[in-house]
A and B are shown apart, each in its own frame.
Chain A
């Protein structure tokens, strides 16, 4: 699967930092490396950058801990489930999750553009982003030792 993503700071507009208090997410891999922002499913505040209707915004990543919510308590949506209509009652809309790197089982792998996701709304009409997944390719499975992988945009791993 993909438990976290990283996006280059340069890809995010300054107003997003102010609006969503993203400063604490800024990190670097050292040396001359460009600053990045990490978004992990284990973070205290679970968020994802999302391109929705052409706008880059920050949404809550899935539903990690709200037992009261009707939303699935996960951060990922299986493509097979989506295509089988199991999410239809939530009226999911397709989104893009922009990213430069993904993280799974301690392996940071390169992402060219981003990955596919869906957005659904909770009872208060707040948007929640779920990462779409598919069965992992042989390469991805060897690399990350996980049997599922994100659906990358114009990229094969």
Chain B
């Protein structure tokens, strides 16, 4: 009985967080911490930092990965399934409704004007995020990264190499570099 109660609480927590979190994965990570560390006291602060690192090290949406890490820690496999179901249900329902709406209203002139204006806004948001990410990357003072960035950009933008291949190549280089460093540096890696 107690177990089922905990699962419901996990489900409603991630459902609620996912339904009201605008502005990307990092926001939801903060809210997961508030809920499960500060509010429910189910996870201690230090362990939460590691769960966040797990979420950020996995591919895919951070909100989903965060739900996996928290769900696993709290209740194993049933915890994962409940937490992930809670996290994806709100966007699934909302985007299904919008998809119907979009098809019906795409040709409406008011909707078109709003989308047109918002398009200029979304460009600004994306480029601002790129600025933040570039500055953050430069702080690492790892000078191999800048030529890598320029090469990846040129390959995708000018030579139309698919994003899939660029990510796979960079991941392979990352694995090689990490393994070489670990061999050379021993414990320092």
Q: Is B truly associated with A?
A: no
Identify the B interface with A (CB < 8 A). none
Residues of A within 8 A of B (CB): none
